[in-house]
Amino acid sequence: AQTVTQSQPEMSVQEAETVTLSCTYDTSESNYYLFWYKQPPSRQMILVIRQEAYKQQNATENRFSVNFQKAAKSFSLKISDSQLGDTAMYFCAFMNYGGSQGNLIFGKGTKLSVKP
Amino acid sequence: GAVVSQHPSWVICKSGTSVKIECRSLDFQATTMFWYRQFPKQSLMLMATSNEGSKATYEQGVEKDKFLINHASLTLSTLTVTSAHPEDSSFYICSAYFFGLAGSASTDTQYFGPGTRLTVL
pLDDT of residue B120: 97
- 8 A C-beta contact, residue A34 and residue A53: yes
Question: pLDDT confidence of A59, banded at 50, 70, 90?
Answer: very high
The strand ranges marked E within chain A are: 3-5, 10-14, 19-21, 24-26, 32-39, 46-52, 60-61, 64-69, 74-79, 88-96, 104-106, 110-115
Residue B80: pLDDT over 90: yes
Residue A101: pLDDT over 80: no
Q: Tens digit of pLDDT for each residue in B13-71?
A: 999 999 999 999 998 888 899 999 999 989 999 999 998 888 899 999 999 999 999 98
Cβ pair B109:A47 closer than 8 A: yes
b/e map of B67-96 (b: 16 or more CB within 10 Å)? bbbebeebbbbbbebeebeeebbbbbbbbb
Residue A96: pLDDT over 80: yes
Task: Write the burial class of residue A83 (CB in 10 Å: 0-12 exposed, 13-18 middle, 19+ buried).
Answer: exposed
pLDDT of residue A67: 97
Task: Report which residue type is found at B49.
Answer: T
Of B116, B109, B86, B89, the closest CA to residue B5 belongs to: B116
Higher pLDDT, B29 or B98: B29
Q: Which residues are bridge partners to B7 per DSSP?
A: B22
Q: What is the CA radius of gyration of chain B?
A: 14
Residue B100: pLDDT over 70: no
Q: Is B9 at the interface with chain A, CB within 8 A?
A: no
Which residue from A42, A44, A106 is facing B44, i.e. has the nearest CB? Answer: A106
User: Considering only CB atoms, which chain A residues are within 8 Å of B38?
Assistant: 43
Q: Is B42 at the interface with chain A, CB within 8 A?
A: yes
Length of chain B: 121
The alpha carbon of residue A68 is apart from the nearest alpha carbon of chain B, in Å, by: 18
